[in-house]
Structure 1
């Protein structure tokens, strides 16, 4: 792996990690086009490194919210709803990540065997259909109970956590796609669902990356350190810009748009990778 390859893969990771298009599918497609094999341990380690760059970008965007959750900072302005509700707290986050962590632990010996190009292909299509249904359902729902992140109930946080399990057990389904759609199916607005999805991505991805690093830390050798650092920085910058852009244009970029893109990607995947 050279610097150019690390830049390309870092860009792909940063662009796709937090939007509902499946970063897994994009990384597989890009790696195969570049000639890397799924069995490359160095590539797997590199993917963990650039994922950490994306996590850091998310933490930078939500740093005030994170400090508030930890009780360290309280200056972030909060809109007061007409009906008093509990402000988002750590219990919401735990309920949002608990089911997925439990599922990942229970299936840790089998998850890698579920990973294949065919699995990702079907997940892209199924995930896209799920997102279209969630958006249709959310529009027909007469009463959205959580328009803002601080209006999220414990039950809704837990339901989002349950939906997140799909992405854990089905590589390519998209974690953000599952959680945003799950929120919309649970009576949460599109924006609040995306906010919560992004926020719980930090602990869930840290746990996954940390677990992977326990097996792959030995690949951090001096000859690849520069490549790893380059990929990390590129992923961080691109992910940071993507998150800001997505939250700014969220009302104009619907889930259906991402679903259509997933269908196109699946078609490309099928034509050029599977054949």
Structure 2
């Protein structure tokens, strides 16, 4: 029963935070340390709950992903294309492949997460400050994103390799800084997240497949389903939120969480 409860809690945390600019990896590391949920089985579980979150975005943007498999989906002159998606993920995938071992070894701790949370929060504040009063100039349609903007968002995504910085936070803030509206930046962020996270999850899963056993399947299934449902509603809520509010509240939340994390683990 304790394992089932942990599966629900971690599934909720992953679903709530994966696509919000608050760092799901940071939250998972913190929650894992608090619950004492770590080790090989926890690594496999983390992959499964991420796959649940990925599936929720595929459902929300199913028409868009279906289009990517058509001729028009490959034409960069007819809206957002496969090439725009590739521009946002290929560079960071290449860098992450070579740094994966070192990131896992040296940066997966509550202290490094706290640092990432603060720095990511400051980036969100800076992006909001730079675009304040210029909303009318920003690209408000994801189909109008240029290849140059897509590439720059991909470069900002390098920051997310530091746990706690947040992939969504770095790309949405980066999107604002290169001329995208919050809504366009968020939609582009969610779309590039699917292939990026899918590849990362499969890579992680293959590395930890020997830790998978029949006894863990029920727990993995619970986490997967909970993550899918929570992430689905979390994304829909966030897209509505961005129509009325800016990202400053998320920045302050990150800084507050960093302070609590440091106090809990190191004071």
Shared fold (TM-score greater than 0.5)? yes
> Which region of structure 1 is more displaced relative to structure 2, 159-168 or 131-140?
131-140
Aligned residues: 262
2-structure distance, mates of 1:137, 1:70: 37
| Greater Cα shift, 104-113 or 188-197 | 104-113
Contact map agreement 2:139 2:145 (CA 8 A) in 1: yes
In structure 1, distance between residues paired with 2:237 and 2:101? 37
Structure 1, gaps ≥5 residues long: 75-84
On the 8 A contact 1:141/1:187 being kept in 2, the answer is: no
Q: CA, structure 1 residues 142+50, in 2 after alignment: closer, same or farther (shift >3 Å)?
A: closer
Aligned to 1:60: 59
- Match for residue 26 of structure 1? 27
Matches of 1:176 and 1:87, distance apart in 2 = 22
- Unaligned runs of 5+ residues in structure 2 are none
Q: How does 1:85-124 map to 2 (within 5 A)?
A: 86-115=78-107, 116-124=109-117
Alpha-carbon distance change, 109 to 33 in structure 1, aligned in 2, over 3 angstroms? closer
Number of the residue aligned with 1:154? 147
State which of 153, 157, 161 in structure 2 corresponds to 1:164: 157
Partner of 1:6: 7
SS at structure 2 position matched to 1:110? helix
CA contact (8 A) 1:64 1:73 kept: no
Counterpart contact for 1:95–1:158, Cα < 8 Å = yes
Question: CA deviation digits over 1:119-163, x for unaligned, max 9?
Answer: 111000000000000111122547635211011000000000000
TM-score norm. by structure 2 comes to 0.93
Counterpart-to-counterpart distance in 1, 2:21 and 2:158? 15
- Asked if structure 1 preserves the Cα contact closer than 8 Å seen for 2:135 and 2:181, the reply is no
Aligned to 1:108, the other structure's residue is in SS state helix
CA distance in 2, matches of 1:5, 1:41: 15
Checking the alignment, whether the CA contact within 8 Å between 1:51 and 1:235 is kept in structure 2 is yes
Give the Cα–Cα distance (whole angstroms) in 2 for the partners of residues 142 and 225 of structure 1: 48
CA RMSD, Structure 1 to Structure 2 (Å): 1.7
Deviation of 1:114 (Å): 3.1
Once the two structures are superposed, residues 76-124 of structure 1 have per-residue CA deviations (whole angstroms, 9 ceiling, x without a partner) of xxxxxxxxx7411111000011111111123233221232221111000
